[in-house]
């Protein structure tokens, strides 16, 4: 069955009040389409709506009067709540201009705010008459504050006690990330990840963290503003069911092609000793390295760090339903290969350590 037939059948099923067809993209207005759904189907919703700041989309005017945009936001958020399961989670990305409104609309809909995450990114937009913007707001709501999914092990990172001070008293599992996310750069036009047919694209690393933390393998992830398709791609890679709506036919076609080129990382089990790693597993390893902010040198010098790093990788893979595990020896060998190929992200956090060391030395000289 081709993509167009799948889209048509999903719309027809909705019109008849049948269970929605999953693992597809529906070209439709999200408010109209959601209004035809009879039962909640989504375990996790991620919405990245137009910010009403004048972006140039192909079929949507991103410049509405305040009252019109506010009313529209209430409409689509309410429609999303109607398809969110009682134990479901609802994330909304928004800019400064309407962050307070989204928070209050969520409260009015009976949602509980668990976190107001700030995604601080590099390569912020250039400005002439004010400080350059380099962040977005990510609201993390749940329907039931006592019954929801949160997979902490799938997103844990090194604590400073582990990474900086090598304190054996530190929790070997690491810590849950803070609510300011600075590890993930914005997807600029020159980045290889960038889909050239859409003007605004979220990085897959941000969506992967959200999908891992707030859903399980087999759960349904829904995106009402599918855009460039990143939410659906992240969900598919991590063995979730997925569904999106997108107003633009051109964007919907681009998403279908992107999904057709995406494979779940669980399609391959963990590689045996000496065997090549599947490409999806290598990308997960690179992702762990990015979020851990630790140099390979330190992993080599501190075996407990390497063991914890390996544990974080294996938890991520298990969360995506990958069979098997990797050993610290395998992980170290792959990290060295990637380092020599310059295929690892730069570790920014350690750039200040030599300066801090010199400052400590000066202090000892002055006060001893």
Under 8 Å CB-to-CB from 263, ≥6 apart: which residues?
236, 237, 280
Same domain, 237 and 174: yes
Same domain, residue pair 118 and 252 = yes
**299 and 335 within one domain:** yes
**CATH number, domain containing residue 19:** 3.40.50.150
- Residues 178, 74, single domain; the answer is yes
* Residues 177, 300 within the same domain: no
Q: Is residue 368 part of a domain?
A: no
Q: How many structural domains comprise the chain?
A: 2
Quote the CA–CA distance of 167 and 251 in Å, as a whole number: 50
Token representation of residue 360: 């400590």
Site of tokens 């992980």: 331
Q: Where are the alpha helices (DSSP H) in 26-87?
A: 30-35, 66-83
Instruction: Indicate whether 365 belongs to any domain.
Output: no
Q: Determine the 3-state secondary structure of 230 from DSSP.
A: helix
Full residue range of the structural domain in which residue 152 is found: 3-262
- Contact (CB, 8 A) for 125 and 132: yes
Place of tokens 């395998």: 330
Q: How far apart are CA 148 and CA 215, in angstroms?
A: 9
My answer on whether 42 and 173 are in the same domain is yes
Report how far residue 161's alpha carbon sits from residue 273's, in angstroms, rounded to the nearest whole number.
32
Q: Using CA atoms, how far apart are residues 305 and 294, in angstroms rounded to an integer?
A: 9
Q: pLDDT in tens for each of the 368 residues of the chain? A: 333 334 445 555 544 455 789 999 999 999 999 999 999 999 999 999 999 987 777 878 888 999 999 999 999 999 999 999 999 999 999 999 999 999 999 999 999 999 999 999 876 677 788 888 889 999 999 999 999 999 999 999 999 999 888 888 899 999 999 999 998 877 555 555 555 655 576 889 999 999 999 999 999 999 999 999 999 999 999 999 999 999 999 999 999 999 999 999 999 999 999 999 999 999 999 999 989 988 899 999 999 999 999 999 999 999 999 999 999 999 999 999 999 998 887 765 433 344 444 444 444 444 44
Q: What tokens were used for 266?
A: 């669980």
- Kindly report whether the global pTM for this prediction surpasses the value 0.85: yes
To 5 degrees, how large is the angle CA 100–CA 106–CA 107?
A: 90
pLDDT, tens digit (0-9, with 9 covering 90-100), for 11-30: 555 444 557 899 999 999 99
Q: What are the phi and psi torsion angles at 90 (to 5°)?
A: -135, 115
DSSP for residue 136: E
Do 8 and 101 share a domain, yes or no? yes
Pair (255, 277) in one structural domain: no
On whether both 274 and 228 belong to a single domain, the answer is no
Has residue 236 been placed in a domain? yes
Whether residue 84 sits in one domain with residue 162: yes
Cα radius of gyration rounded to whole Å, the chain = 22
């Amino acid at each position: 069955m081709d993509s167009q037939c799948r889209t048509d059948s999903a719309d027809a099923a909705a019109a008849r009040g049948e269970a929605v067809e999953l693992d597809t993209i529906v070209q439709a207005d999200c408010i109209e389409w959601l209004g035809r759904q009879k039962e909640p189907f989504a375990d996790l919703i991620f919405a990245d709506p137009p910010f009403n700041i004048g972006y140039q989309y192909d079929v949507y005017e991103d410049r509405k009067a305040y009252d019109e945009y506010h009313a529209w936001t209430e409409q689509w958020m309410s429609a999303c709540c109607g398809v969110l399961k009682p134990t479901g989670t609802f994330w909304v990305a928004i800019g400064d201009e309407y962050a307070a409104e989204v928070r209050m609309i969520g409260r009015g809909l009976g949602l509980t705010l668990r976190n107001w995450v700030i995604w601080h990114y590099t390569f912020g937009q250039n400005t002439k008459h004010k400080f350059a913007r380099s962040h977005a707001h990510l609201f993390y709501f749940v329907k039931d504050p006592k019954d929801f999914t949160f997979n902490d092990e799938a997103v844990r990172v090194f604590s400073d006690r582990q990474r900086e001070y090598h304190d054996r008293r530190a929790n070997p599992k690491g810590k849950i990330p803070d609510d300011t996310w600075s590890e993930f750069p914005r997807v600029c036009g020159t980045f290889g990840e960038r889909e050239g047919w859409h003007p605004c694209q979220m990085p897959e690393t941000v969506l992967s963290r959200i999908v891992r933390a707030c859903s399980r393998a087999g759960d349904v992830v829904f995106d009402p503003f599918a855009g460039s398709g990143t939410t659906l791609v992240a969900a598919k890679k991590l063995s979730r069911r997925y569904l999106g709506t997108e107003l633009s036919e051109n964007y919907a076609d681009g998403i279908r092609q992107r999904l057709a080129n995406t494979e779940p990382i669980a399609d391959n089990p963990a590689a045996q000793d000496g065997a090549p790693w599947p490409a999806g597993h290598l990308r997960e390893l690179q992702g762990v390295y990015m979020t851990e902010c630790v140099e390979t040198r330190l992993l080599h010098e501190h075996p407990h760090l390497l063991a914890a790093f390996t544990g974080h990788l294996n938890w991520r893979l298990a969360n995506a339903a990958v069979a098997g595990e990797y050993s610290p020896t395998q992980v170290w060998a792959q990290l060295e290969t990637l380092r020599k190929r310059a295929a690892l992200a730069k570790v920014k956090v350690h750039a200040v350590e030599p300066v801090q060391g010199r400052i400590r030395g000066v202090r000892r000289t002055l006060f001893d």
